[in-house]
Amino acid sequence: SQQGEEDPQALSIQEGENATMNCSYKTSINNLQWYRQNSGRGLVHLILIRSNEREKHSGRLRVTLDTSKKSSSLLITASRAADTASYFCATDLANQAGTALIFGKGTTLSVSS
């Protein structure tokens, strides 16, 4: 079953612009993770944010987490054509170590040069 919703479902921007994707989830979590998928291949892990963290950075990526609203956002700054991919958020279940991730529906990002 899906954990929640992501919006937008699709996003088209120009190179150099910022891209923001949002994710909502339903249950209490230990952490939330963001993944990238290129053309239906395997998933690449981008960043993990723990439930007691509010913001995390990794290179051009900035992730925020609001556990009171059960939502997260992924910001990609200064986007490049190579950022074109599908982006998924995924959560585990609080108080259950080692559970499978539950994925959101994903955002398809298209960056044109």
Instruction: Write out the residues near another protein by the rule CB under 8 A.
Output: 1-2, 30-31, 33, 35, 40-43, 45, 48, 50, 88, 90, 92, 96-106
Q: Quote the least distance from Cβ 96 to another protein, whole Å.
A: 8
**Are the C-beta atoms of 104 and 89 separated by less than 8 Å?**
yes
Q: Quote the least distance from Cβ 13 to another protein, whole Å.
A: 21
Nearest to another protein of 36, 70 (CB atom) = 36
Asked whether the CA dihedral 6, 42, 50, 11 is positive or negative, the reply is negative
- Residue among 48, 45, 50 at smallest CA distance from 29: 50
Q: Quote the least distance from Cβ 101 to another protein, whole Å.
A: 5
Nearest to another protein of 1, 68 (CB atom) = 1
**What gap in Å lies between CA 40 and CA 75, rounded to an integer?**
22
Nearest to another protein of 14, 26 (CB atom) = 26
- Residue among 7, 12, 29 at smallest CA distance from 105: 7
**Are the C-beta atoms of 22 and 73 separated by less than 8 Å?**
yes
Q: Quote the least distance from Cβ 16 to another protein, whole Å.
A: 28
